[in-house]
Each structure stands twice: as C-alpha cells, then as structure tokens.
A and B are shown apart, each in its own frame.
Chain A
Amino acid sequence: MRELNATVLENIEIAPMVYSLTFGLDEEIAIRPGQFCMIGVHGYSLKRPIAVCKTEGERVTVCFRVKGGGTRALAGNYRLKEKIPVLLPLGNGFSVPEEARRIAVVGGGVGIFPLISAIRAYTGTHEVYAYMGFRSKADICLEYEMRRAELILATDDGSAGFHGNAVQAFMKDVDGLQPDIVLSCGPLPMLRALKNSMRGRDIPVFVSLEERMGCGIGACLVCVCDREDGSRARVCRDGPVFDINEINF
C-alpha cells in the first residue's frame, strides 16, 4: 500500500458517462487482478474507491461511471500531466487455484472493469469465458479487452448479444461449460441472483463488492458487509473479493 502522486496520462469517455482514466506512477507497483485504488479528487475530503482495470508497467487504468459530484469532477477536471493522489494497491483481489483450468467471469455494468483485470491476468494460462452484461448496445465498451476471453455479450434491451442480463446468459451455459471457478462483479441484485442460481452446484463463486469507503485500508470500519455467520467484514480490506456463500446480501 502506497500513497502516491500519480500523473494523468489519459482520461476519456469510453461509453455514455463512463470514463477510462490512465495514470502513471514513478515506478512499477505490483497490482493483483481485482485489487482497487483510492483516487483523490481536488475539493473532496474522501478519495473514491475504483477498481483497477488494467496495468502496464507504471501505467494503471481505472474505469468509472459518473454518478455524483466526485466522479463528475474526476471525469471533467483531470487532463494530461495533471497530478492526482492515489492510494494503492488495495484489497485482496481475485485468486484462482492452480488446478482450475476453466474460469467463467460474469459481470454487469461497471462490474465488468475489475473482471477485465482478471481476464487480462488469466487468459494466458486458463480458458476464460466472459459473460458481460450492459443496458444497451451503446453502453458496451472495452470490447477488445473482453475479447481476450471467449466473450458472450448480454444486453437488457436485446440490442446486442443475449437478450437479458449476464447471470441469465451464464446460467443458460453453466451446465455445459462446467467452469472450475466463477468470478463476478456487478450490481447487488445481479450478485443475489447469481448466488441463488448457483446454490447446489459444486462450483466456487467469488464476487467483488462495492461500498462507500472512508480510509480504503481497513482502519475506519465504514465499508462493512454482512457475513452469513452474523459477523461483519470490511469490504476494503477483507475483500473486495469474497466467496459468494460467505456473504449475506
């Protein structure tokens, strides 16, 4: 974990209200797939937790949807060469057991971005099938990154690929596909549906969660989620990746 001053290299809209921000660090820092960073926005007290989508040497790319004032400022006010405070790498990230051969990733909305880091990490060594859901054809982005895997697109309105969400597309294939492990990220209703649908199948499912955060490193206990055993886990530190059966949504 390092608190650094990064340099903005690129900040572009890649889909309606979705931005891809690439920043450069002074040195290469090892970031595991599924880890995230906290990004400082001038004029805001809290950093924004955003999943790392891609790393190439000292270059790190994160993608985010403009939702509130902080992300609007992040999208609008940061141009080439500007300095931006970042705290990284954070969280546990995905881990895939060595014996696993076939990985299915199931993502929806901005949940596809941490999964792209997994696709990039595992396509060289594993068979990766990506079920990626968007609202509409116009929202599809980073298709060339997703195509590193065997890609099955889904749209809510049926304008491209499977008509429905990513979980529905995945559940149609799961018994034929027989993945050794499933990695997922997306809105809570999607994760809930995935948990229900996968119940009874002997396939481990790991999900990356999102929550409002304070410190991002596990100290402030702001971003907790409920575990099935009644305890609470810190999304930033104990996660953001959890075994789906561990979490009470």
Chain B
Amino acid sequence: MTDLHVTICGVELKNPVIPASGTFGFGREFDEIYDISCLGAVATKGLTLEPRLGNPVPRIAESNAVILNAVGLQNPGVEHFIEHDLAWLRVKTRVVANVAGRTVEEYGAMCARLDGLVDFIELNISCPNVRAGGMALGVKPENVKEVTHVAKCALKKTPLIVKLSPNAESIAANARAAEEGGADCVSLVNTFTGMAVDIERRRPVLANNTGGVSGAGIRPIALRMVYEAKRAVSIPVIGMGGITCAEDAVAFMMAGASAVQVGTQNFTDALACPKIIEGLDRWCSSHGVERVSDLVGTLQMN
C-alpha cells in the first residue's frame, strides 16, 4: 500500500485526486454511483453571489479528444450551497469551493462569505469581468494580482487557490502574479477558449458560439504549463487538463503538481476518479514509490 496522502497549504488530503469544478456538481449525483468520501477533495461547481441561469443550449460539443462547454456558470448561488450542500459534502471529504464574480469586489465578498466554512477557495478568473472591460481577469498579470489580493484580504482562515487560465499572455507571469497577490496555491489549467462548427448549418455548435475546450487533447499543453508555473513560483501547484488515468496523474505530479484535478474524464467514465486513485496506488507500488508525494516535481529535463 502506497501512502497516498498529500498536504497542500497545511491541509491534508487522503489522496491527490480531486474532481474538477463544473464536472461534478456538489458531489451528490456521483455519490449515488460511488461513495465520494474516497476522493482527496471535491472542487464544487463554480459559485456566484446570486443564483445564475447560465447560457442557452446547446452548451456542449465534442471534437477529436476534446469537448467544449459553455454552461455559463449556472449555479444556485453561494447561500443555497452553504445551506443545502456544504455540511453534507464536508462530512464526505475536503471541499474546494470554486468561486466566480462579475467584479473584483464580488470575489472579495464570496471569499468573505466562505472563509472558515470550506477547506480551500479556488478563484475562477476565467470568466468575463467588468474590471477587465469584459475580458477575463485571468489574462493579464496585473488583473490576476489585483483579484488575488482582494480575495486574500477577505480571507482569515481558508487557504486561497487561484485557478489560472491558459488563455493568458504568459502562464509563468500569471502564476507569479497570483503568488505576489497572496495566493497560497495555484491550480491550472482551466479550459482553452475554442469553437466547434456545424458546417451544414454554417453555425457554431454552441449557442454561446465559443466555449471552453477540455479533455485528453489538451493534456500536453496543460503539462507544459504546469511545469512552467511550478518553476515560476514557490507555492504548491494543482495540475489538471486532460487527465484520464493514473499514469496521466503521475505525469502531472512529476511536472510539479502536488495534487491533480480530473474533469472531462468524469463524463467518459463516471468511475474515473476512484479508478485513478486505485491506479496511483498500483503504479507507485510497482515502481517502488512509498509516498505519492515523493513524485512531485521529480521530472528530469533532457
């Protein structure tokens, strides 16, 4: 048996596998398929101050080895989450509350509301923001630093993860900006902006025209970005982007990720996360790795 525990920002997880935000709701549905208390943590559906209805349908499309989504942050609002889901989820496992806002101030308010109630807060800075003139806050380092700083100032207890967008000028610069703004951890990558076209209708498949690209096809780019981010900062990194199996998770950990998130694969295989946890144990055992955390950052460059 491998020791699968990892510690991030002083918080111990029973293993490094976390279903990614937006693919797992608040965990209740997947808990009907398997006991989600086996997971290292759960990253919640992106939360906002007020309930949101999200985008029109179709909200999903598929291309080679990737999917595109444009759900548009549909969620019942942070108060509903706190009242209906949080206590249940915390009994199961660690909670990463993913939060989004229209303004920098909304991020601050979300953090203040959730401080001390969850194990981590993860800032989604990939959504269009008023402060950035409708552009995502995650594009320019100065915006990343500002929103991180505002969020961090609202937090006294809960560690702050900044989820970096790959649609950025420089992933290393943005990781550094998050660290300078006071982030305790960065997670990456969020989805790449993309488009799928229905050539018969001469229209984009998604009602929103563009959407976030995720899935196995983005994995090489995500791995490179995780490596670059880890080299740029001294805070821990959580890696994600197209992880489908334990071997993929191992690669991300070698590239510098202290834990991993699994998104699209939850759709391909509802049992993806428990299979990856079991696979990590097997891989480590067969490779003489006693603690999964020993893998982190061990990649040797050519």
Q: Which A residues contact B (CB, under 8 angstroms)?
A: 1-3, 40, 44-47, 70, 85, 87, 211-225, 231-232, 237
Known interface pairs A3-B270, A40-B268, A45-B66; A220-B30 also in contact (CB < 8 Å): no
**List of A residues within 8 angstroms of B75 by Cβ:** 221
| Least CB distance, B38 to chain A, in whole angstroms | 14
| Shortest Cβ distance from B74 into A: residue | A221
| Shortest Cβ distance from A85 into B: residue | B269
Cβ–Cβ contact A1 & B33, under 8 A? yes
Cβ–Cβ contact B60 & A45, under 8 A? no
Q: Is B53 an interface residue (CB 8 A)?
A: yes
| Least CB distance, B113 to chain A, in whole angstroms | 22
Cβ–Cβ contact A47 & B59, under 8 A? no
Cβ–Cβ contact B269 & A215, under 8 A? no
B208-234, CB < 8 A from A: 215-216
Cβ–Cβ contact B74 & A214, under 8 A? no
Cβ–Cβ contact A222 & B269, under 8 A? no
**List of A residues within 8 angstroms of B54 by Cβ:** 221, 224, 232
Cβ–Cβ contact B57 & A212, under 8 A? yes
Pairs A–B under 8 Å by Cβ, sample size 23 = A1-B270, A45-B65, A45-B66, A45-B67, A45-B215, A45-B267, A46-B60, A46-B62, A46-B267, A47-B267, A215-B267, A217-B33, A217-B270, A218-B29, A220-B25, A220-B71, A221-B59, A221-B74, A222-B59, A222-B69, A224-B59, A232-B53, A237-B29
Cβ–Cβ contact A214 & B69, under 8 A? yes
Q: Is B107 an interface residue (CB 8 A)?
A: no
**A190 and B264 alpha carbons, distance in the complex (Å):** 34
Cβ–Cβ contact A45 & B62, under 8 A? yes
Q: Is B266 an interface residue (CB 8 A)?
A: yes
Contact of A221 among B28, B32, B45, B266 (CB under 8 A): B45
Cβ–Cβ contact B25 & A219, under 8 A? yes
**List of B residues within 8 angstroms of A211 by Cβ:** 57-58
Known interface pairs A45-B65, A45-B67; A219-B29 also in contact (CB < 8 Å): yes
- Other than the given A1-B29, A221-B71, 9 more pairs (CB < 8 A) read A3-B270, A44-B62, A45-B264, A87-B270, A215-B267, A217-B270, A218-B29, A231-B53, A232-B54
| Least CB distance, B243 to chain A, in whole angstroms | 12
Cβ–Cβ contact B60 & A222, under 8 A? yes
> Per-position contact with A for B231-275: 1 when CB-CB < 8 Å, else 0?
000000000000000000000000000000000111111110000
Q: Is B40 an interface residue (CB 8 A)?
A: no
Known interface pairs A45-B215, A221-B54, A221-B74; A215-B266 also in contact (CB < 8 Å): yes
**Nearest 6 pairs between A and B by C-beta?**
A219-B25, A3-B270, A217-B29, A219-B29, A222-B60, A218-B29
**List of B residues within 8 angstroms of A237 by Cβ:** 29
**List of A residues within 8 angstroms of B266 by Cβ:** 215, 219
| Shortest Cβ distance from A68 into B: residue | B62
Contact of A215 among B28, B58, B74, B270 (CB under 8 A): B270
**List of B residues within 8 angstroms of A212 by Cβ:** 57-61
**List of B residues within 8 angstroms of A223 by Cβ:** 57, 59-60
**List of B residues within 8 angstroms of A47 by Cβ:** 267-268
| Least CB distance, A215 to chain B, in whole angstroms | 5
**List of A residues within 8 angstroms of B265 by Cβ:** 45
Q: Is B93 an interface residue (CB 8 A)?
A: no
Cβ–Cβ contact B270 & A222, under 8 A? no
| Least CB distance, A33 to chain B, in whole angstroms | 21
Q: Is B24 an interface residue (CB 8 A)?
A: yes
Known interface pairs A45-B267, A219-B24; A214-B60 also in contact (CB < 8 Å): yes
Q: Is B23 an interface residue (CB 8 A)?
A: yes
**List of A residues within 8 angstroms of B270 by Cβ:** 1, 3, 87, 215, 217
Known interface pairs A45-B62, A224-B74; A3-B33 also in contact (CB < 8 Å): yes
**List of B residues within 8 angstroms of A216 by Cβ:** 267
**A107 and B75 alpha carbons, distance in the complex (Å):** 34
Cβ–Cβ contact A213 & B60, under 8 A? yes
| Least CB distance, B114 to chain A, in whole angstroms | 20
Q: Is B108 an interface residue (CB 8 A)?
A: no
Q: Is B166 an interface residue (CB 8 A)?
A: no
**A89 and B103 alpha carbons, distance in the complex (Å):** 42
